[in-house]
Structure 1
């Protein structure tokens, strides 16, 4: 009888292990959207990315492998320590399977390191540093919507070709700003241009006057704004007060999206050149998604919002294909599957976790060119993904053989 009992227990343990290996391990799939919901990047990502994630879950059918999909969110306040505490709590006690969005590069790097330690997937759509798929890469980390290299190739390349061959950088003083300045500088120099100087400003700065005066006195043809969100918008507003563009210098907003143009207005933003990975008015497919998103949010999506939709959708497809939400199995599918949705059209994922897709060089319209609300951009060029992103073999990621 004792032998029969031991055999029964062994059978039950083996059966429970089999259940865990296939399907959702805890009866649900839980995705966390962790981003800035109250600071300088609240429009850039914020609650609007949470809505995009909810849209993706709903469009997938609300379930995967017969398990309900749950989206949770939190505000990291652009602080890596707060983000790290939330990530650990989500992973350790709240059964979150993957964390996404992660606006702010310092936050994204911290959370990706935790995911690597705990064997959990993160998909970054809101941060830009190439270190995420370079020296800080992870077998469970993915970078989706854009990065500093793609922005430098797009916006920097356009202006250098147009004669903007001397640059001064106004840079956000943290990992994202450093990466964007470096990528931009490297690209300007490789195309025969020069960088005459740079100055760094605190995140969420209110007064750019001293920084702009340095840029103005540098004599550079282009003032590169290596910042984002409200920092970029405030710098552009104050640059107008100092007459920088009237004096013949050009402003290059290296990370500026539809959301910030809307906040700034066409009158102030007109003529700016920028790069995005998505534009709602690109074609019929983009317009259909944009209008669906607008119906629930009252605004059109930028590349962070559309990229978050794509990342959540692809993660769910990977679970479906793997037949389990076990991390290694899902990560394997994410690396192998192509990305075919409204954002990542024919996208591929490199061995370093970088999703390679086309980017778009855009110019902000003049007010009288805009035909309807949110019709803000002229599409100047499509930048093929192979040109926009660093070759994985040259990324510095130790996962690339």
Structure 2
């Protein structure tokens, strides 16, 4: 009996060592990085609003995919390619970020495109605009969602071509250069004439010298190939300088609903703009936009709505493909039509361009606005295949001749 008891005691002492309990490994989240300008000239058109849109997409999807929680991380690139690149490299190499979304400022966007290409990570561009993203700098890992400079030129430049001669006041970086190039090309092809242009640095507050050059050029239409606070300031100052009063038309080539809100209908009335989305188009856009407004206290820009749509489409593709492998997910995204409040029967081409209808709208006069944020009226709808550059003309190496 004593021997049995001693043996039993030894076994009881050894059992915890022989059968240790292991804590379950935490499930690795799927991380989506929203990269944009959080406090500078593009904060209103992207910024915190794009983060809210991304969070709404995750919540509406259900919060998890393939048994993994979905996490949104954010970064402020300060409109600097080196800052944006450093954030994205850290996200990928150290933080395990799976996809980078939003990305206003085309110089940053094109830098991030190269990182995505090298490291096989998806770049979902919803606010950066250079058409070169799906042109000569296209990548298997890059998808362009909301609009691009070619589409803006088709929507705004071509119809106003003969209202000139044209003069461009252009932001001196990749987006501005691409927007002027694409619009000038559309204007000349439509029989219009360009008499000059001038470049201004990002973050300009005094446009007086540029406006004087425009006035002295003989132009009848001054086009602002910039965005955000730069474009808002330029249009306000052009009105203060009396350009519209002297018979010179103004064209804001890249305006958002938040820009019209900042300018005011009294000054902005009559401006023509091209949009990939407008909150008050139909019942679907209104329902989603009012949800967004409840969180952000501003109606969504086309880029913010595009961020939601792009991320939701990505998550649905991950679920359908049952993997987060970038190439398989991209293939699934390209094989699946886009049908949501943002786009109907949209499709992603070989060059990464998501093709969908665009809208040409005009800013209402103050007396036409009947309720808050009722700023725009629809002039015409441009079918996607007519709005975006033909696939064969972009110079994308992915496109077979």
- 2:8 aligns with none
- 1:177 aligns with 176
Is 1:111 equivalent to 2:108 in the alignment? no
Is 1:128 equivalent to 2:129 in the alignment? yes
Taking the aligned partners of 2:321 and 2:221, their CA distance within structure 1 comes to: 49
| 1:28 CA displacement | 2.0
Is 1:361 equivalent to 2:348 in the alignment? no
| Aligned residue pairs, count | 375
Taking the aligned partners of 2:42 and 2:296, their CA distance within structure 1 comes to: 17
- 2:218 aligns with 219
Counting only pairs closer than 5 Å after superposition, residues 199-238 of structure 1 correspond to structure 2 as: 199-238=198-237
Contact 1:130/1:147 (<8 A) preserved: yes
Contact 1:165/1:188 (<8 A) preserved: no
- 1:35 aligns with 36
Contact 1:165/1:192 (<8 A) preserved: no
- 1:351 aligns with 350
Taking the aligned partners of 1:290 and 1:37, their CA distance within structure 2 comes to: 21
| 1:373 CA displacement | 0.4
| 1:158 CA displacement | 2.5
Q: 1:17-67 CA deviation, whole Å, 9 max, x = no partner?
A: xxxxxxxx9632110000001111010100100000000000001111121
Taking the aligned partners of 1:215 and 1:333, their CA distance within structure 2 comes to: 48
Q: 1:61-92 CA deviation, whole Å, 9 max, x = no partner?
A: 11111211101101100000000000000000
- 1:4 aligns with none
| 1:299 CA displacement | 1.2
Is 1:283 equivalent to 2:282 in the alignment? yes
Taking the aligned partners of 2:198 and 2:393, their CA distance within structure 1 comes to: 28
Contact 1:138/1:352 (<8 A) preserved: yes
| 1:336 CA displacement | 1.6
Larger CA Rg, structure 1 vs 2: 2
| 1:156 CA displacement | 1.0
SS at match of 1:31: strand
- 2:339 aligns with 340
SS at match of 1:345: coil
**Cα root mean square deviation, aligned:** 1.1
Counting only pairs closer than 5 Å after superposition, residues 311-390 of structure 1 correspond to structure 2 as: 311-390=310-389
| 1:165 CA displacement | 3.6
Contact 1:165/1:193 (<8 A) preserved: yes
SS at match of 1:192: coil
SS at match of 1:77: coil
SS at match of 1:223: strand
SS at match of 1:333: helix
Taking the aligned partners of 1:183 and 1:94, their CA distance within structure 2 comes to: 38
Contact 1:196/1:220 (<8 A) preserved: yes
SS at match of 2:245: coil
- 2:9 aligns with none
Taking the aligned partners of 1:186 and 1:28, their CA distance within structure 2 comes to: 46
Taking the aligned partners of 1:116 and 1:374, their CA distance within structure 2 comes to: 40
- 2:157 aligns with 156
Contact 1:35/1:77 (<8 A) preserved: yes
- 1:11 aligns with none
- 2:96 aligns with 95
What's the TM-score, normalizing by structure 2? Answer: 0.92
Taking the aligned partners of 1:335 and 1:212, their CA distance within structure 2 comes to: 44
- 2:250 aligns with 251
Q: 1:348-371 CA deviation, whole Å, 9 max, x = no partner?
A: 101000000111001111111101
SS at match of 2:159: helix
| 1:345 CA displacement | 1.5
| 1:241 CA displacement | 1.4
- 2:5 aligns with none
Taking the aligned partners of 2:324 and 2:27, their CA distance within structure 1 comes to: 9
- 1:305 aligns with 304
SS at match of 1:304: helix
SS at match of 2:371: coil
SS at match of 1:340: coil
| 1:127 CA displacement | 0.7
Taking the aligned partners of 2:263 and 2:191, their CA distance within structure 1 comes to: 33
Counting only pairs closer than 5 Å after superposition, residues 130-145 of structure 1 correspond to structure 2 as: 130-145=131-146
Taking the aligned partners of 1:386 and 1:378, their CA distance within structure 2 comes to: 23
> Structure 1 residue runs of 4+, over 4 Å off?
none
Taking the aligned partners of 2:27 and 2:258, their CA distance within structure 1 comes to: 37
Q: Which runs of 5+ in 2 are unaligned?
A: 1-25
